[in-house]
Amino acid sequence: MKEHNIAIVGATGLVGRNMLKTVEERNFPVGTIRLFASKKSAGSYLLFRGKRVLVEDLFSSNLNGTDIALFSAGSEVSKKIVPLFVHNGAVVIDNSSHFRLSPEVPLIVPEVNGDMIKKNRGIIANPNCSTIQLVLVLAPLHKRFKIKRVVVSTYQSVSGKGYKAVKELETQSKEFLETFHPYGSYDRTLYIRYRSKSSVFPYPIGFNLLPQIGTFGDNGYTLEEEKLIKETQKIIGSKLKITATAVRVPVFYSHSESVNIEFVHPFTIKGCKEILRSSPGVLLYEQNYPIPLYMYERDEVAVGRIRRDDSVPNGINLWIVTDNIRKGAALNAVQIAEELING
């Protein structure tokens, strides 16, 4: 099998490390592998197939010789560096939001629209984590019953905001439990100090939840909500009616979504379950329901709590959970690379 020279940009981050692991686990045919991060991590090493690989400083290295580059170092880095890799002959699979809505860039979830990969002109975008798990469930149902409207509320883990956010939840949880008891008397001064201390999120996330992910736009929606709406429309169809509320919750890994769907055509719960049971990448919970703790490090998008919404003629409610770092980011990117090389 032909081998391919791979680069991972943002290799030391939560997503980048998982990309490296996923490339290894799935036996991707790798010729050479290069790892890039910021100056801060340059000179450190990560393990790949039992060997140490040097982490290079992205901004002071030559970028030649890469066939496929997997990017997960944020929008600003992608904006500056992706075109340089493409110029040097690489195909870039980008995890940032920078290129996702560009009309000439395919936005891909392989199980849903993998056929669009061949339309790439050097850049393929990986959707937002919350979009990937949503469209994997919506697409097969839409094909059969045609979706009229979707209302989604997300319950997103802190890892969606990277390593520093995971650290912040850990620190705040410890501090909260060391300082307070959830019952009886407490020191109000300490409580007020706890409430006002936060660096990654606008307010403490430990023992809390935040109905804000990203900055607010003029219309009152957050950036995350806008991404979820527009990316879903780009993948499923621009006419899809969809609204979203994105909430950050004190969970380390895996995003959950409560989804209400109204179909154009009549449906049965049995019919929906049959479709989801046979949809690639989807794990149907027939009896119980999926939860973030159990989906950690799993590949599937899990769906459960499927039930009719009797308040509208063709309505259904369901609950979707997936590991945001795996299928929500790293795995989806590696699957795109696999489809790319397999034509």
Closer Cβ to ligand NAP, 14 or 321, answer by number: 14
For ligand NAP, the nearest residue by Cβ is: 13
- Please report, for residues 82, 122, 130, 212, 291, the alpha-carbon distance to residue 155 in angstroms, rounded to integers and kept in the order given: 31, 34, 9, 11, 11
Contact 18, 46 (CB under 8 A): no
- Binding ligand NAP (rule: CB under 6 A), the pick from 328, 334, 336, 340 is 328
Closer Cβ to ligand NAP, 40 or 121, answer by number: 40
Contact 54, 73 (CB under 8 A): no
Residue labelled with tokens 């920078």: 98
* Binding-residue pattern over the window 92 to 131 for ligand NAP, x denoting contact by CB under 6 A: ---xx--------------------------------x--
- Binding ligand NAP (rule: CB under 6 A), the pick from 72, 133, 172, 222 is 72
Closer Cβ to ligand NAP, 61 or 278, answer by number: 61
Q: Which one of the spans 23-31, 135-143, 158-166, 193-201 is the region binding ligand NAP (CB under 6 A)? A: 158-166
Considering only residues 12 through 71, tell me which ones interact with ligand NAP, judged by CB under 6 A: 12-16, 37-38, 40-41, 58
Applying CB under 6 A, does 206 fall inside the site for ligand NAP?
Answer: no
- Binding ligand NAP (rule: CB under 6 A), the pick from 4, 6, 7, 10 is 10
Site residue total, ligand NAP (CB under 6 A): 27
As a whole number of Å, the CA-based R_g of the chain is: 21
Contact 284, 277 (CB under 8 A): yes
CA distance 319 to 236: 19
CA 315 from centroid of its chain's CA atoms = 27
Applying CB under 6 A, does 322 fall inside the site for ligand NAP?
Answer: no
Angle at which helix 223-236 crosses helix 129-145, to 10 degrees, equals 40
Applying CB under 6 A, does 214 fall inside the site for ligand NAP?
Answer: no
Does the active-site annotation cover 272?
no
Q: To the nearest whole angstrom, how small is the minimum distance from the Cβ of residue 146 to ligand NAP?
A: 29
User: Given 4, 98, 142, 255, which residue is catalytic?
Assistant: 255
CA distance 257 to 117: 27
Q: In what order do the strands lie in the sheet with 123-125?
A: 45-48, 51-57, 30-37, 4-9, 68-71, 91-94, 123-125
CA distance 143 to 59: 45
Active-site residue list: 129, 255
Residues near ligand NAP, by CB under 6 A: 10-16, 37-38, 40-41, 58, 72-74, 77, 95-96, 129, 159-160, 162-163, 324-325, 328-329
